[in-house]
Structure 1
């Protein structure tokens, strides 16, 4: 079994979660990405969010939300994703950058528009009354 190790930023406002869609993709993803060799979770989170959304995560505000596992969207069966999720404050103005074509605010009603691992995260946020 192959495992893709990713770090993601859970950013909620008014019960909706910030999500993004990369060029050529058909679903939305919670922002974040894969770590580079030697990177810890916080370093990965800061770098990926800067690359994708043009803002700077405040490392001292990072808080762990949870770890979620699911079949990786768009990959062969048996390829799993391990998503380590954090909340954090940021500086700057959110705007799509690099491979990100679109960013949107989604609610639990949009669950069907996201990847399988993000669906698990949506379930968790909804069950803990953090997402409408």
Structure 2
């Protein structure tokens, strides 16, 4: 689509012992999505992901746990007319997980049977199907 700019981000696929996937909703938005965000200047994917997880959830990414799951594109959930391209990683975390910074809400969802909530297109079309297929 002409004139559509793409936002480049990193996103974390975090699962609990039951296999549920952690989703977050940012302040002032309706769509649930993976934790993550834009890279700061000079950051590689894993460094950006570790920083974003700490800022948004207060937990720590376990060193060496980042598993690249692929790059996916979708319509941006919160920025009309834009697309998002996400480098998605499966990661393991330690410490208490709680919404912080711009995160208003977090939920754990079964990727095989997500609840009736608004999901970001990237989460709905790529991440949850990947988790449901057991690839992570």
Say whether the fold is shared (TM-score over 0.5): yes
Q: Of residues 107, 116, 128 in structure 2, which corresponds to 1:122?
A: 128
What CA deviation, in whole Å up to 9, does each residue of 1:61-120 have, x standing for no partner?
21111211001113233x110111112222211111111111110123327521001112
Where in structure 1 do 4 or more consecutive aligned residues deviate above 4 Å?
none
Which residue pairs with 1:72 in the alignment?
76
Residues 11-70 of structure 1: per-residue CA shift (max 9 Å, x gap): 112131001111111111111111011110011000000000001112312111121100
Q: Which residue of 1 aligns with 2:61?
A: 57
Does 1:12 find its partner at 2:15? yes
Structure 1 unaligned segments of length 5 or more: list them.
Answer: none
Task: Report the secondary structure of 1:45's partner residue.
Answer: helix
Q: How many residues align?
A: 129
Unmatched segments (≥5 aa) in structure 2: none
From 84, 88, 103, give the equivalent of 2:87.
Answer: 84
Identify the structure with the greater helix proportion. 1
The answer on 1:37 being equivalent to 2:41 is: yes
